[in-house]
Amino acid sequence: MNLALLRADLTAISGEQYVREHPVDRHIYGQTPLLAVAPGSLEELAQTVARLAAEPVAIVPWGGGTQQTWGRPPARPFVVVETSRLNRILDYTPDDLTISVEAGMTLGALSAALAANGQMLPFDCPLPAQATIGGLLATAMDGPRRLGYGSARDLLIGIRVVEATGRISKAGGMVVKNVSGFDMMKLYLGSFGTLAIIASANFKLIPQPRAAASILCRAATPAPLWKLINAIAASQLVPVAVEYLEGFDVAGAPCAVAVRSEGLPAAVERHVRDVTAFAQQAGVSAEPLRDAAHEQLWNAINDAPQTATLAADEVVVRVTCLPADLSNAIAAARAAAQRANLPLQVTARALNGVAYLRVRGSAEALREWHAALLKAAPQTMLLAAPPALIAELPAFGTHIANLDLMRRIKQEFDPADLLNPGRFVVGQVA
C-alpha cells in the first residue's frame, strides 16, 4: 500500500485538516489506525469509502468513539472514517413528530434541539454529549426507557447508508408507518458497521411528558426487590422504566430499584402511590424523586455502562436473556464475583431481560468470572475488557445461531470484508 498516495487522494476529497496519519487518539485496544479521515458531506463520505475500497484497506466507522471497545478489535490494519462532521439536522417539522439527522450528530445535541420543541428521542445512552446517533444505531444501545417507548428498533423510520463500495442507498421514509419495500433499517441497526456506514437516520419522536417522577426503592438484599419488580409487571401500571441496581453507589444502598413514570400529572402520581404501596408490601423503602433529583438519578443510571473510560482491570458486559431469567443471571454474576471478592456493578432493564455489568479484578479472576457468567447467560456480550483479555474471551457469548445465514448476508454486502473486519459475530469472512 502506498500510504502517501492514499493520504493525498483522501485529502483531495475531504481537505487537508480532516486527514490525519497514525492518530493515537483513535486507537482501538492499542491499535492505531493508518489514517483517520473526517468527510464533511454524504458525497465526501461515499467517495472516501470508494477510494478505500479501491485500495483495498479495512475501514472502521467512528462516531463519538464511546463504544469502540465493543466486540472484537480490528483484525487488520485499518483507516478510521469519522462521522463527526456529518452532524446536521436534515429535516425537522416538529408538528410531524419526525426528524432526519446525520449520523455524526450526538444524542445530546439532538435532544437539545428536540427539547426546544417539547419533544424527545428517549434513547438514554451513556455519555450523550459524545455518543453519536450513528454509533448508537450500529450498536443497538438501549436505555432504561425502552420499556415505555421502545428502543431504536421501534423508533427508527428511515435510513441512508454508504455501502462498502461507496454506493449510497436509502430505505424507509419520513412517516411513522411504512411497508414500502424491505425494512433495511432492521438490517443495519445493531450490525456494528459491518454491512454499511450509516450516514443519516430518520426517527419517530415522542412528545415530552407533562409530568415525570421516579420512585427509588432501596434494600440490603436483592430478593424483596425482585418481588417488587414482579408486582409491577403483574399490575396494569405503565412505568417507562424499571431499573434494577446493585453495587451502584448513587442508589445509596447495596441494591435498589428505580421506577420512572412519565405522562399526565395524575397518572404519574398514581404510579408514585402504587409503587410505594408495592414496595411496602415487599418490605423495602420507597422514596419519590422529582425534578433535579429525578434527572440526576437517571443520568447516572444511563452513564453507568459507559465504556469510554475504563480502569485497567475492568470488564463491562451486557447480559441478554428472557426477563424471567434475569435475576438468576445476575445472581450467577454476583456469586462468581463474591467468590473472588470482585466489586460488581449492575444496572438492569429489569422487565426487558437486559443487564449491563461492570466488574474489576486480576486477569485470572476476570477470566473465571466471565466463564461462570456465560454458563448462566450464554448470550452475554463483551463491551470492554483489558487488552490482555480481549483476544481470548468470547465476545458474543457461546450461543450464536444462524451463523451461516449471517455470513451470507455479510458476503453479499461486503464481500471483501472491508467494514469493521473481525469485529462482529460473523468474524472474518474474506
Q: Which residues, 65 to 104, sit near another protein by CB under 8 A?
A: 93-98
Does 50 participate in binding another protein (rule CB under 8 A)? Answer: yes
Binding segment toward another protein, per CB under 8 A, in 19-27, 105-113, 142-150, 297-305? 142-150
- Joined grid coordinates for residue 351: 422487565
**According to CB under 8 A, which residues from 303 to 342 bind another protein?**
318, 320-324
Taking the CA atoms of 102, 104, 110 and 113 in sequence, report the sign of the dihedral they define: negative
- Joined grid coordinates for residue 376: 448462566
Does 243 participate in binding another protein (rule CB under 8 A)? Answer: no
Residue 166 near residue 196, CB atoms below 8 Å: no
Binding segment toward another protein, per CB under 8 A, in 16-24, 49-57, 308-316, 336-344? 49-57
Can you point out the beta strands (E) in 247-323? Answer: 255-263, 285-289, 314-320
Chain centroid to Cα 147, Å, comes to 15
Instruction: Using the minimum distance from each CB to another protein, give the nearer residue, 296 or 428.
Output: 428
Residue of 51, 358, 370, 423 interacting with another protein (CB under 8 A): 51
- Alpha helices (H) along 307-399: 326-339, 363-376, 387-390
Task: Print the binding letters for residues 118-137 with another protein: x by CB under 8 A, - otherwise.
Answer: xx------------------
Instruction: Using the minimum distance from each CB to another protein, give the nearer residue, 251 or 383.
Output: 383
Binding segment toward another protein, per CB under 8 A, in 215-223, 286-294, 347-355, 357-365? 347-355
**Closest to 107 (Cα-Cα) out of 250, 293, 303, 292:** 303
The DSSP bridge pattern shows strands 255-263 and 206-207 to be unpaired
**According to CB under 8 A, which residues from 368 to 427 bind another protein?**
379, 381, 396-397, 399-403, 405-406, 408-409, 411-413, 415, 424-426
Does 428 participate in binding another protein (rule CB under 8 A)? Answer: no
Close Cβ partners of 345 (under 8 Å, ≥ 6 residues apart): 246, 247, 248, 304, 357, 358, 359
Does 15 participate in binding another protein (rule CB under 8 A)? Answer: no
DSSP helix/strand/coil, 244: strand
Does 7 participate in binding another protein (rule CB under 8 A)? Answer: no
**According to CB under 8 A, which residues from 172 to 201 bind another protein?**
173-187, 189-191, 195-196
Distance CA 63, CA 136 (A): 9
**According to CB under 8 A, which residues from 275 to 294 bind another protein?**
none
Question: CB of 136: closest distance to another protein in angstroms?
Answer: 14
